[in-house]
């Protein structure tokens, strides 16, 4: 097999590994952090808030909000991003439901520690999923497009700004002031760890796939 063919095969195996391991870590982090009052960013945060205020179904609203986002991203980034994103959303949703019973096992009386550790785990999982070539839809997809226009900011910084804006809006709507601290800390750590994982992915690509 020619060298380029071997590199393509190795890249596919690498991406598949990132998808599988990333989905597992992402889902576990959500199960872990679910024990404290954290309002998620992205479209999910809006869906959770709508459910609290209007009793609308979270899944349906989240899907409805993500449809135009993914249409836009597919036009800009191609079908591969859409396919990988569908796989990621299906995989993480199934695992979170499957492992929901585990949340009490992680019981802790230190919510700040939970937000920090949960954010670090989420950053690793989400960073791996982004490095595979997909997104988690919502703001992770929009930040991918914004990064091309705002080159001076890192991907994680753009995502943090977007998610914090949504979380602040949701906290104001729900009047859940305690959640702001935990949510902001959680999102900040997620963003920074994601930047680190994606930087490492760039180094791996340069060393093994683009050389």
Taking CA atoms, 183 is separated from 93, 117, 165, in Å, by: 21, 13, 11
- Radius of gyration for the chain, computed over Cα atoms and rounded to the nearest angstrom: 17
Residue 58 pLDDT > 80: no
CB 160 within 8 A of CB 47: no
Residue 192: CA count within 13 A, CB half-sphere: 11
Q: What is the pLDDT of residues 86-134, one digit of tens each?
A: 888 888 888 887 887 887 777 777 888 888 998 999 999 999 999 998 8
Q: What is the pLDDT of residues 159-180, one digit of tens each?
A: 999 988 988 888 888 887 777 8
């Amino acid at each position: 097999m020619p060298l380029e063919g071997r590199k393509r095969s190795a890249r596919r195996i690498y991406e598949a590994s990132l998808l599988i391991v990333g989905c597992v870590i992402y889902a576990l982090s959500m199960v872990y952090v679910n024990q404290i009052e954290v309002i998620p960013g992205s479209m999910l945060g809006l869906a959770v808030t709508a459910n609290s205020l209007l009793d609308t179904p979270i899944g349906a609203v989240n899907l409805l909000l993500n449809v135009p986002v993914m249409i836009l991203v597919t036009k800009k980034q191609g079908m591969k991003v859409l396919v990988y994103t569908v796989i990621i959303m299906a995989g993480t949703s199934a695992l979170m439901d499957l492992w929901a019973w585990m949340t009490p096992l992680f019981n802790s009386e230190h919510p700040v520690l939970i937000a920090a550790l949960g954010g670090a785990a989420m950053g690793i999982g989400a960073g791996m999923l982004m490095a595979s070539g997909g997104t988690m839809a919502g703001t992770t997809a929009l930040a991918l497009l914004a990064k091309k226009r705002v080159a001076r900011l890192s991907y994680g910084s753009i995502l943090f700004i977007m998610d914090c804006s949504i979380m602040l809006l949701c906290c104001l709507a729900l009047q859940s002031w305690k959640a702001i601290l935990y949510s902001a800390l959680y999102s900040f750590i997620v963003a920074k760890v994601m930047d680190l994982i994606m930087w490492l992915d760039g180094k791996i690509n340069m060393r093994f796939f683009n050389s």
